Structure 1
């Protein structure tokens, strides 16, 4: 486990008015070089060093409707926790970003949850929404890519679709690229790749606590 202090920067997103304007106008934004290659390499190496027991098969749905379905989703995940230093540093980075987004765009983002995602060769995630209007407190989705030297022939792209099914963006999962989009607005999918693909996927959430229970099942 790394013990040195690791500092990340949110300058690329939080301080760039053009980037914030695109997020506010279009509902999504792609930020190349959000994180340095050095820091991405540390997170990538950390992911590679995790044992099989530290990953779980990703599922779909929530609470009583939660299930695994390999016809829809084939990645493995590990939820990040402040218990582990490198994971803690990333969570701190995204907390600073939360404050910056709230300050600039008044989004009312309450907290953040995220997990590492590992897509083995051939794995995919079919078209889906991260949230449904009126049924979730997930407001803003984020994806940070960790693989260095990813080439177009490697596949594994994130595809974001518009309201009429048109392709808005096809994003190569290149290390350091951050994608941010409204969770209940954009259908998206992860195409099958030819290499092991690592990323960190997360969601900024609204506070819909009832009786002290965060995001209760209604």
Structure 2
């Protein structure tokens, strides 16, 4: 806590302070949980956009990457819709995450190159079992990000994100999917899961990536 105070300057904006708190947490423990910290105006425009999206724009979520992708409802059964920035809400979200990416690159020298994200809908009874977002040396996802768009969420509604600090950790750190909460963690380091939701649960999941392009492969893919 003392280190955070020393690195927070009076000239910082609220946004800089949030980004610095995230950076400090990543340095100290590899993950950051910032409850109800997303600017309300950003959460509001995302929530309004999500609330008015047509059902056909969501598709069943898969597991794996690229050629190894497959549907497996015993592992996850949420639906997703990728964010491309072609709506005012999407554009504002990507602008905000770009600012976070730039800050973390300056502060932590991570070399983050791009960002991808999608809306996620967990209907009643839906879940996502314990998993990693990236395996060591096999992927280019460096930081995972989750933000929540659930007004008035109660603990009795379930749907918690659980972050496990090690392979032997069977308890984990639980995060309620409350409106405006953001979680950032090292993609290769932390297994996590989404507990069964007892009512409709909405979030954004995203990943900051590094560039692993080679002479015969463009990455991230176009």
Query: Deviation digits for residues 35-87 of structure 1, max 9, x if unmatched?
Result: 13443232122112111211111000112210111110111101101222210
Kindly indicate whether residue 140 of structure 2 is the aligned counterpart of residue 140 of structure 1. no
Q: Distance in 1 between matches of 2:41 and 2:138?
A: 39
| Unaligned residue ranges in structure 2 (runs of 5+) | 1-13
Q: Residue 180 of structure 1 corresponds to which residue in structure 2?
A: 184
Mapping 1:154-165, distance limit 5 Å: 154-163=157-166, 164-165=168-169
Q: Distance in 2 between matches of 1:191 and 1:168?
A: 12
Q: Residue 5 of structure 2 corresponds to which residue in structure 1?
A: none
Q: Which of 15, 31, 38 is the aligned partner of 1:10? A: 15
Q: Is the 8 A contact 1:136 1:215 kept in 2?
A: no
Following superposition, the deviation at residue 28 of structure 1 comes to: 0.2
| Unaligned residue ranges in structure 1 (runs of 5+) | 1-8
Note the aligned Cα RMSD (angstroms).
Answer: 1.5
- Structure 2 CA distance for partners of 1:209 and 1:193, relative to 1, 3 Å: same
Q: Distance in 2 between matches of 1:62 and 1:21?
A: 30
Q: Is the 8 A contact 1:127 1:189 kept in 2?
A: yes
Following superposition, the deviation at residue 13 of structure 1 comes to: 2.5
Q: Which of 52, 55, 63 is the aligned partner of 1:52? A: 55
Q: Residue 131 of structure 1 corresponds to which residue in structure 2?
A: 134
Q: TM-score, normalised by structure 1?
A: 0.89
Q: Distance in 1 between matches of 2:15 and 2:83?
A: 19
Q: Distance in 1 between matches of 2:107 and 2:69?
A: 35
Q: Residue 218 of structure 2 corresponds to which residue in structure 1?
A: 213
Q: Distance in 1 between matches of 2:56 and 2:154?
A: 30
Q: Secondary structure at the match of 1:47?
A: helix
